[in-house]
Amino acid sequence: MRSFIAAVSAVSRLLALVAGVLLVSAILSVTQMVFVRYVLVQSTVWQTEYTIYSIVAATFLGAPWVLIERGHVNVDLLQMLVGPRMRLVLQMLSGLASMVFVGLLAYAAWYHFEEAWVAGWTTETVWALPLWIPVLPMLVGMVWLVVQYIAELMRLWLDGPDTALGAQEALFSDTVKGA
C-alpha cells in the first residue's frame, strides 16, 4: 500500500515538473511575442494562444502535487474543534466528496476530449490548433488527481489525521479561551 502511495506521489511530482516547464515556456512565449511585436514590428500568430493553453495545462497538471502539499482550499474549522477520531472521519468524507467531484470533471474532460478528437475540432485562429491538445492536460490532470485522492485517503487511513492540525487546534482553543 505504501509503495502505491509513493508511486502515485512520484508521478504527481513529475506532472508538477511538467507544469513548471509549461509555465516557464509561457513566460518565454510572451517575451518572444513582445520582441516580435514591438522590436521587429511584425504580427504574431501562435504566442497568445500557446500562452493561455500552457498556463491552463499547468494548472490542471499541477493539481495532484498541490493536493500532496495540502495547498487546496480547505475549511477546517470543524476539524479543529473535534478530536482525532472525528477529524479522521471528517477528512475522509471531505476527501471522498472531493474525489467524486474531480471524477465527474475527469469524465467531462474525457467526453470533451473524445468529441474534439473524433470531430477533428480546431481552434478558430490562424494557428488552427487541434482542440484535443489543450483538452488533454485537463483529462490527464483530473484523472491523476482522482488517483492522488485515492493515495491520500490511503495515507490518511494509515497515518491518521494530520498532526499539523494539532498546533492549529491549540492556537484556536487559546484564542477562544481568551475571548
Residue 130, helix vs strand vs coil: strand
Residue 120's DSSP bridge partners are: none
Per-residue pLDDT, 162 = 64
Residue 58, helix vs strand vs coil: helix
Residue 69, helix vs strand vs coil: coil
Residue 123 contacts residue 131 (beta carbons within 8 Å): yes
Q: Has residue 115 got a pLDDT over 60?
A: yes
Q: Has residue 116 got a pLDDT over 60?
A: yes
What is the arithmetic mean of pLDDT over 91-96?
Answer: 92
Residue 20 C-alpha cell reads as 513548471
Q: For residue 105, give the nearest of 64, 75, 133 by alpha carbon.
A: 64
pTM across the whole model: 0.83
Percent of the chain with pLDDT over 70: 90
pLDDT in tens, 42-72: 988 899 999 999 999 999 999 999 999 988 8
